[in-house]
Every structure is written in C-alpha cells, then in structure tokens.
Structure 1
Amino acid sequence: MEKNTQKPKEMEDFVSQLKKQDDYNLQLGKVLKRFYIIMIVIYILLMVINPFADLSVLHRVIGLLFVFAFSWFAMLFSRYQKDFRDVDYGLPTLQMLENVVKRYRLSLKTFLQIIPPVVLVAIALSLTVYQSSSAANAPYRVLMVQLVFFLIALVAGYAGYEVWKVKHKPLVDHAREMLKELNRE
C-alpha cells in the first residue's frame, strides 16, 4: 500500500523538478537567441553603414563569417527554445518520460550541430589576425590565436558537460529508472 502512494508523490516531485528546469532552459534559450540576434544586427550595421573608411573586402568577409556563425547559433537557440516551450506534461507517463530522456540526454547530434559555427568563428578570428599582422609573423600569430580559441572552446565544452552532469543527468537517470519500473509492471 505504501508503494502505491509513494509513486504518485515521486512522479509529482519529478514533474515539478522538470518544470523548473524546463522553464530555466526556456529562459536561457530566449536570452541567448536575443544576444545572437543583437550581434547579427550590430555586424550587419557595421558592414552597411561602414563607419570606418578603410573597410576592405577582407573585413567584409570576416564580418559575414561572424554573421553566419551568429545566425547559426541563433537558429540553434531558437530550436532549443521551441523544444522547451512545447513540452507537454499531460502526455501519458511512458511517453512523457521518454521525451525527458530525449530532451536532456547528451547526444552526438547536438555536439555536431555546434561545430560549423565554431569553425566559422575560428576562421574569422584567423583572418582578422592574419590581415592585421606582418607577413613574417602572421602564421605564428594565427597559430597562437587558434590555440587560445581552441583552449577556450575546450574549457567551455567541459564546463557545459559539468553543468549537464549536475543539472540534466540526474533528470535523465531518474526518468530512465522510472521507465524501467513502468516496463516491469
């Protein structure tokens, strides 16, 4: 008898945690999408209005690379925002738990989706450094910028993994555990 009253309470607590995390992720997605849209507008305005008299074709290419990268990130966060806005807690328990696992698991697909904009930013940074360096030290400076950028990306990726481990992995693990229990019954 105690087991039956325990399960609804456990599910209620779990759904409450989910709603809180989903709301947080929804707000984060909105903020990051807005940030990237603002950056896109700034870069486009700088290229169109051209407050600098010596804006070369290379400068414009660099600006376009940043605009493409920021657009890609904005689209990713738009999709991320949609995923958390459209969550339906009224679905049957089995389907709702499967959706939780799908929504919060780490996936290779998600990782692969962020590689193109990161590469675009890396190329834009390299071109920026290259065009502002003398021919003699340009390769060294580009290499140093790429090394620093790679290290920053590595640290950011590891920080993201740690956040996932603390905030999202427990939700995935708990949902999987509940799915196993439901499938046994």
Structure 2
Amino acid sequence: MNTKNNISDKYNHLLDINRLMSGLKKEDARNVRISRIFQWLMGGMSLLYLLVFVVNPDHDLTWGDRVGGVCYVVGFLVFAIIFKGFQDEYKSIDYGLPTMVMLKKAAERYRLFQPKKLYALIPVLLVDMGLVFHSLDGHQDGSMSIWDFQLFYLACLVGGLGVGIMIWRVKQKPLRDAARELLREIESE
C-alpha cells in the first residue's frame, strides 16, 4: 500500500515513524516554551491590572473601572492557569507508549478544534466583561461605546483565531496528518 500519495509530497518525510517522532518532540517542546511564556505573560498582566485598576487609590477611577479591573485580573489569572495546564500536558507526553496509542494521542493533541478545551472561553468572556464595565463608565452614550468595544474585541479574537489557524496549518497539521496516515497504515496491516 502506497500511503505516501495520500499526503502532500512536502510532508512525505513525516511518514517515517522516526522522523515523525522527532517532529512531534520538537513541536511539543515548542508548545511547552510557548505555554510557559504565555503563563508568565498572563500572570504579569493580571498583576498589572490588579495594581492599575483595583488597588490603585486614585479617586478618578470609577466603580466600572474597578469592577472591570477585577474581571481583567480574574480573566488573566484563569488564562495563566490554563497555560500552566497546557505546559504540564505537553511536558508529560510519553513517547514510550505503544506506537498505535502514541499516534492516536498525537493525532488528537494536534486536532484543530478540541471541544474538551472549550473552558478556555471563560477568561475570554471575563476580559470581555471587563471591557463592558470600562465602556459603561467612560462615555455618556454607553450603548455606542459598548458596541465599539465589542466590535474591536471581536475583531481581535477573529484576527487571533486566523493567525492560530495559519500556524496550525503550517506546524501541526502536517504532524497530525502523518500520525493519522501511519495509524491507518498500521491498522490495515
């Protein structure tokens, strides 16, 4: 069976189990680094917002600024905890598992949308709530301001999603496709 025709010639080298393992280890190590960086970044953002919007004694800060600041702090803390979980998940990958199990786990790990990780929307919504509270206090016409902030936030989320999908297509999809193809090849034998 010639499975190499099923995957673009560009990624044929990944159909060798040793090269695929090397690619998986490299990408998993990269994900550990990225998760660690974002964990610290989100922790730093949480501390910054805590100092600027919550504990700041400035009398010009309104209740909306303070409540919005609390939403930001909690949202960024939850993001930091989620990234810590991702970091731990990638650090604990066992490449010594039986080949079929390891390939199934790799294919699942590099799936684009993972319903089991929808909990990551919680901090996104918390940060959005912070934006809403800030926009309520900052302008006379609160509804227009909320709309503007929501459009801006949605545009940022869609842009970030687009960049994430492009990175996935270049870095992780070839690994997932190769793992699935090798898995099909092993199962058909």
In the superposition, the TM-score normalised over structure 1's length comes to: 0.87
Does 2:46 match 1:40? Answer: yes
Q: Which of 122, 125, 131 lines up with 2:128 in the alignment?
A: 122
Partner amino acid for 2:150?
Q
Q: Which protein, 1 or 2, shows the higher relative CO under an 8 Å CA cutoff with sep ≥ 6?
A: 2
In the superposition, the TM-score normalised over structure 2's length comes to: 0.85
Query: Which residue does 1:4 correspond to in 2?
Result: none
- For structure 1, which segment, 86-95 or 43-52, has the greater mean C-alpha deviation from structure 2 after superposition? 43-52
Query: Which residue does 2:90 correspond to in 1?
Result: 84
Query: Which residue does 1:175 correspond to in 2?
Result: 179
How many Å separate the matches in 2 of 1:27 and 1:147?
32
Output one character per residue of 1:113-146: Cα deviation in whole Å (capped at 9) or x when no partner: 2322112111211211220111xx2211211111
How many Å separate the matches in 1 of 2:74 and 2:172?
29
CA contact (8 A) 2:32 2:90 kept: yes
Query: Which residue does 1:31 correspond to in 2?
Result: 37
How many Å separate the matches in 2 of 1:151 and 1:58?
23
How many Å separate the matches in 2 of 1:48 and 1:66?
10
SS in structure 1 opposite 2:112? coil
Partner amino acid for 1:22?
D
Query: Which residue does 1:140 correspond to in 2?
Result: 144
How many Å separate the matches in 1 of 2:53 and 2:149?
24
State the shift of 1:110 in Å.
5.2
How many Å separate the matches in 1 of 2:164 and 2:112?
11
Query: Which residue does 2:102 correspond to in 1?
Result: 96
Output one character per residue of 1:33-79: Cα deviation in whole Å (capped at 9) or x when no partner: 00011112222233564242333433221111001111121121111
CA contact (8 A) 2:110 2:176 kept: yes
Change (3 A) 1:108 1:16: closer
Query: Which residue does 1:164 correspond to in 2?
Result: 168
Aligned length: 176
Q: Unmatched 5+ residue regions in structure 2?
A: 1-12
Partner amino acid for 1:38?
G
CA contact (8 A) 2:49 2:73 kept: yes
Q: Which of 56, 72, 97 lines up with 1:66 in the alignment?
A: 72
Output one character per residue of 1:13-45: Cα deviation in whole Å (capped at 9) or x when no partner: 111111111111110000000001111222223
How many Å separate the matches in 2 of 1:47 and 1:162?
35
Query: Which residue does 2:21 correspond to in 1?
Result: 15
Q: Cα RMSD over matched residues?
A: 2.0
